[in-house]
Amino acid sequence: MELSQRVDAAVDRALSQARIVGTVVIVWRNGVPVYERAAGFADREAGRAVALDTVFRFASVTKPFVAATALAMIDHDRLSLAGRVSDYLDWFHPPGPDGRMADITIRQLLTHTAGLTYKLDTGDLPEHEAVTAGLENTEMTLEENFSKLNTVPLSYKPGTAWEYSIAIDILGAVVAQVHGGTVEEAIRAYILEPLGIRDTGFVVDDPARLAVPYVNDTPEPRPMGEPERVAGPYDNVYCFSPARIFNRHAFQSGGGGMAGTAGDVIRLLEMIRKGGDGVLKPETVAAAIANQIGRLNVRPGVKFGFLGAVTEDAALDNSPLPDGTVSWGGVYGNRWCYDPASGTVAVAMTNTAPEGCDGAYPFEIWQAIFDR
């Protein structure tokens, strides 16, 4: 079968089995669109179909936009990979596991080796002092929220382990501080405006284009509540707040607070594929898509660069992605990938959690794209 037939079959199967409600899948190879499809419902109850320009809540698809912003600022000598976070943010200085002041670097934020974690409700803090991640609604600022961690020891000494974490939220605070504005203003200046991206941001003004989020249930996904707690892999529990995307007072979460279109993500990935396209230096892009964590592992066969996971041994990871592919996702139901060898950039956006991110659907889409 041709690529389009294989991807169509994967999309149709997921929809017919009621594993997802709506999706946009876009695939480009060497700058040429080879597949684009919108299918299912953006709002099932209202009968509103998904369109190619439907806006989805990004969750962690926000991260590569923030990481690319930091890399651009490094290219402009406004940041340094070796720079200490405490030199940029005087309000963020969590102690190390030994109780002494720990030096966290920009490199460690980018690579999730900073000693931070996403396990923010472990009982280390009283309930009224709990720290929120970027999915939950809040009125707090970045400083009000994350400065609470100054009394909580890091999970490990920075640079000695890999753990997915709030590191990119802290990186967002850094780029905002250095730029002299908000997180979004920094991203807009360095990434969104140069790439002509207009639909991505931390607040949605046009609900008519926004996909309703759904959570997997039996016999079919149901609309998310406000809030909605969803069990994820590795004993994680995600606390979603769909209303957050309308709240201008919530801190701008570099780890998961943006919304945008599949086409916006493709533009970002195309910039990477083209070696920076005037936004980043070619050598910066080369470093961003390579292993930056040395002997540490995300999991067997998978490393991490500056933008996402790097597949080093697809067979060991039981992955349909080719070796060398950079990829990541967002827990609202999204996945993206870039394969340098074939020049393929691809995005599979859905409005269904956790299937669209952690379920079989993205695996099946990658399998269809790469015919593996």
Residues designated catalytic: 60
Do residues 176 and 149 lie in contact, with contact meaning Cβ atoms separated by under 8 Å?
no
3-state secondary structure 245-277: HHCCCCCCCCCCCCEECHHHHHHHHHHHHCCCE
- Provide the terminal-to-terminal Cα distance of the chain, rounded to the nearest Å: 12
Do residues 65 and 197 lie in contact, with contact meaning Cβ atoms separated by under 8 Å?
no
User: Which residues partner with 337 through β-bridges?
Assistant: 327, 346
Tokens matching residue 41: 């419902």
Sign of CA dihedral 232, 237, 242, 246: negative
The letter for the amino acid at 130 is: A
Do residues 111 and 160 lie in contact, with contact meaning Cβ atoms separated by under 8 Å?
no
The enclosing H or E element of 317 equals helix 314-317
The number of CA neighbours under 13 Å toward the Cβ of 176 is 19
Tokens matching residue 340: 């340098």
